[in-house]
Amino acid sequence: MTKYFIDGIDILTVFGVSVEGGSDDFLKYPAKKDSITHDWQDANGLDVDLTKIFFNARPISLKCSILVSSEEEFWNRYQSFLAQLAKPGYRRIQITQFGEKSFYCFYKECTSFTRHTRLKENPGQIACKFTLNLLEGEPNIDYNNVFIVDEQGRFLIT
């Protein structure tokens, strides 16, 4: 089972939050920012500065759920999870499926929240689903790990 950590905290164990989908957003390539260009009147085409490429922030949309056994537990976990997300600065996200890789994101918004059981009339468990939107403000692109391959797909070591 894949585990999710925010600042080293297992979100399922501590907050009762499980992630049902969206972790592939961490692997999507971020959109490239527009390069500096100039359209010279006395030359064909467009002069584009591609000496260094920059990227936009990468949006992350996680489909999550909370499953707890009492109203008191719901409010404790719900509020403590939001407090963890809303701390100043970036949150370090780790997903066991991706090994030791860390992603630095901040909370943007919760675009949907659906209760599947009533809080007051709950005979057993309380279940909720929500979509959590994060933003990786500075996608960490490792320019040092660029590989050259030949026509047969073999890595060339220089």
pLDDT value at residue 5: 96
Answer yes or no: is 39 within a domain: no
pLDDT value at residue 115: 83
pLDDT value at residue 104: 94
Question: What is the rounded distance in angstroms from the CA atom of residue 18 to the CA atom of residue 116?
Answer: 15
Token pair of 121, please? 């009339």
Scanning the chain, the segments in alpha helix (DSSP H) are 11-15, 71-85
Answer yes or no: is 115 within a domain: yes
CATH number at residue 21: 2.40.30.200
Answer yes or no: is 40 within a domain: no
In the predicted model, is pLDDT for residue 132 greater than 70?
Answer: yes
Judge if pTM exceeds 0.85: no
Model pLDDT for residues 60-83, shown as the tens digit of each residue? 999 999 988 888 898 999 999 999
Answer yes or no: is 77 within a domain: yes
pLDDT value at residue 60: 96
In the predicted model, is pLDDT for residue 140 greater than 80?
Answer: no
Answer yes or no: is 43 within a domain: no
Model pLDDT for residues 84-115, shown as the tens digit of each residue? 999 999 999 999 999 888 999 999 999 999 98
Answer yes or no: is 82 within a domain: yes
Contacts of 36 (CB under 8 A, 6+ apart): 48, 49
Answer yes or no: is 101 within a domain: yes
pLDDT value at residue 138: 86
Give the number of domains in the chain. 1
pLDDT value at residue 14: 94
First to last CA, the chain: 39
Answer yes or no: is 95 within a domain: yes
Model pLDDT for residues 19-61, shown as the tens digit of each residue? 999 999 999 999 999 999 999 999 999 999 998 888 999 999 9
Contacts of 74 (CB under 8 A, 6+ apart): 66, 68, 119, 126, 128
pLDDT value at residue 103: 93
In the predicted model, is pLDDT for residue 118 greater than 90?
Answer: no
Where in the sequence is the domain holding 145, given as residue range(s)?
Answer: 4-32+53-156
pLDDT value at residue 152: 79
pLDDT value at residue 139: 83
